[in-house]
Amino acid sequence: MLEQSFIDVIKVFTPAAIAFFVGIFTTPILSYYLYKNEMWKKKAGKRGLGDGGKDTPIFNELHKGKEVGTPKMGGVIIWLSAFLTIFILWLIANIFPTLITEKLSFLSRSQTWLPLFTLLVGALIGLVDDYFEVTGKSDYFSGGLSLKKRLGVVFLVSIVGAWWFYEKLEVASVIVPFVGNFDIGLLFIPFFIFVMLAVYSSGVIDGIDGLAGGVFAVIFSAYGVIAFAQAQIDLAAFCFVIVGGLLAFLWFNIPPARFYMSETGSMALTMTLGVVAFLTEQVILLPLIAFPLLITTCSNIIQVASKKIRGKKVFLVAPVHHHFEAIGWPGYKVTMRYWVISIITAMIGIIIALLGS
């Protein structure tokens, strides 16, 4: 038993270390391409949501010197590191099948096919969005893919995921810690779709150097621990291989950032996170484990609702991490405090998941 646990630990953390070094060694190539081709926004600032697309002057003032000159698409490092690690280990296991190589490969139908699928779909669609945003090849695509188009992609992937869980994995229930298992039948499908869309909406947490990378690293680590405790070793390895890619990204994202994660990273991570939460059967704990993502989404909803109902804002600028910048917090302070909150809420989530199962 002890020997098997040791082997499982090796299987989980070896791919994570490989992904980290793959990311470290591929970053110079990506950086060279991004800087050579000036893959950054040609005009700083953004337009707000829910206000007719008007300019956001406070945000634009805070970030006027940051967005131009710093490339987007840095999220490629995260998902490319994870994918290359998974592919290399799978290839070695098939070409040189031994006990060790087969054990290290963690590509499996029941645990990792679906999250890998969502990772790659989100990454590629996000990459298209980033490309059109920085190049503005046509008026139709200038500014990237519209929010409706991106939500449409998430919706379609969610349908596939819901079908996979309901038909292939025969999942139609939700576990509530300390209470039990609730069979919700066909309602599982719309519930799955809702969660996926909600998690995707939190991707706007990307906006301050190191913020999104650190938060997502903590969240995926938490779900990796939960999957390991459930003996879903392949899924645990998958979670930590993403963490390895995130740590490589963070290595180059320490202020001042070499590049931004942007949509190719945030879309891949948020879509994959939703699937991982369902695979571990701890989706009810997702708002706790991913608490910084929750407050990010809620702050946007509150801001838009307040403008429409009351005619005035609650926050100086939304999402709320930019509000903290606007009141005078330096970016690194916002980032570090978000990391601290992430670690605390993730630990509480892990404890509840382990004790409440």
Per residue in 57-101, pLDDT (tens digit) is 666 666 665 667 789 999 999 999 999 999 999 999 999 998 888
Does the structure show a pLDDT above 50 at 52? no
- Domain locations in the chain as residue ranges: 2-284
Please, which pLDDT band fits residue 206 given cuts at 50, 70 and 90?
A: confident
CA angle 52, 54, 57 (to 5 degrees): 155
Helices (H), ranges, the chain: 2-36, 57-62, 76-95, 99-104, 113-135, 147-163, 188-201, 211-229, 233-251, 262-279, 286-289, 291-309, 320-326, 331-355
Residue 142 has what pLDDT? Answer: 47
Residue 136 has what pLDDT? Answer: 72
CB 262 within 8 A of CB 130: yes
**CA–CA separation, 180 vs 150, rounded Å?**
35
Please, which pLDDT band fits residue 45 given cuts at 50, 70 and 90?
A: low
Q: What digits encode the pLDDT tens for the residues 256-268? A: 889 999 999 999 9
- For residue 116, CA distances in Å to 29, 105, 238, 269, 278 come to 24, 14, 8, 11, 14
- CA proximity to 67, closest of 267, 316, 256: 256
Task: State what percent of residues in the chain have pLDDT above 90.
Answer: 72
Please, which pLDDT band fits residue 4 given cuts at 50, 70 and 90?
A: confident
Does the structure show a pLDDT above 80 at 115? yes
CA dihedral 62, 271, 222, 23 (to 10 degrees): -70
Residue 279 has what pLDDT? Answer: 95
**CA–CA separation, 280 vs 353, rounded Å?**
10
Residue 62 has what pLDDT? Answer: 62
CB 50 within 8 A of CB 304: yes
Q: Tell me, yes or no, if the pTM score tops 0.75.
A: yes
Does the structure show a pLDDT above 50 at 50? no
